[in-house]
A and B are shown apart, each in its own frame.
Chain A
Amino acid sequence: ETGVTQSPTHLIKTRGQQVTLRCSSQSGHNTVSWYQQALGQGPQFIFQYYREEENGRGNFPPRFSGLQFPNYSSELNVNALELDDSALYLCASSVDRGRSEAFFGQGTRLTVV
């Protein structure tokens, strides 16, 4: 059974650019959540996808968007990057959208310069 994998592990972007981060959920999981972890902070909920539809969103602007595919993998897209978007982006998958355990990937470290 493979765990949650994220790609890329690191990337550097310029302010104003767009970025796409990818996440493969754990086998058998149909729910993916994305979190942003700024340096020295706890993770903050961005949004959740359940069976290819957004199922809840945190306090993030619309330039943060996502997708979930039929195989339950997911993408996080961020447009018009700002310096404050520099963070570790974590993907977590769970067996359903209820209060089941979330399994985290290793994260993507995004640096905006």
Chain B
Amino acid sequence: AQSVTQLGSHVSVSEGALVLLRCNYSSSVPPYLFWYVQYPNQGLQLLLKYTSAATLVKGINGFEAEFKKSETSFHLTKPSAHMSDAAEYFCAVSGSNQGAQKLVFGQGTRLTINP
């Protein structure tokens, strides 16, 4: 079975500061890992994904994440926060459900950017 834990339901940073959103996973098979962003009243947009290639993954909007198998982590970072980054962020692992490759999501982290 697969599961995801996002540490910190709320993160607040100043504009221009480093963004770090934490995600730890559990998976019985080599994981595929994803970060999605959700703006208010909208669906989910894929930021980046890890699919067993390079451990450092670069995504859209300046975000990147590093897969660390020894720590079972996939933390999301951005060097310099922008006001437009304020949103809900979800980490997800791809797991199997009776043959269906479902996504198992964490509880989400709400990112607030202070001017």
Contacts and interface: CB of A to CB of B under 8 A. Distances in A.
B102 A33 contact: yes
Interface string B72-100: 00000000000000000010101001111
A43 B97 contact: no
Contact of B103 (A41, A47, A102, A109): A102
Interface stretch (A12-20, A53-61, A65-73, A75-83): A53-61
B104 interface: yes
Given A42-B90, A45-B104, A101-B49, A106 B98 contact: no
B46 interface: yes
B42 interface: yes
Contacts, number: 74
A109 B100 contact: no
A107 to B, nearest CB: 5
Contact of A43 (B44, B46, B49): B44
Interface of B is mostly: strand
B44 A58 contact: no
A2 B59 CA distance: 22
A62 interface: no
B76 to A, nearest CB: 15
A42 B104 CA distance: 9
6 contacts: A33-B100, A35-B103, A42-B106, A44-B105, A57-B98, A98-B101
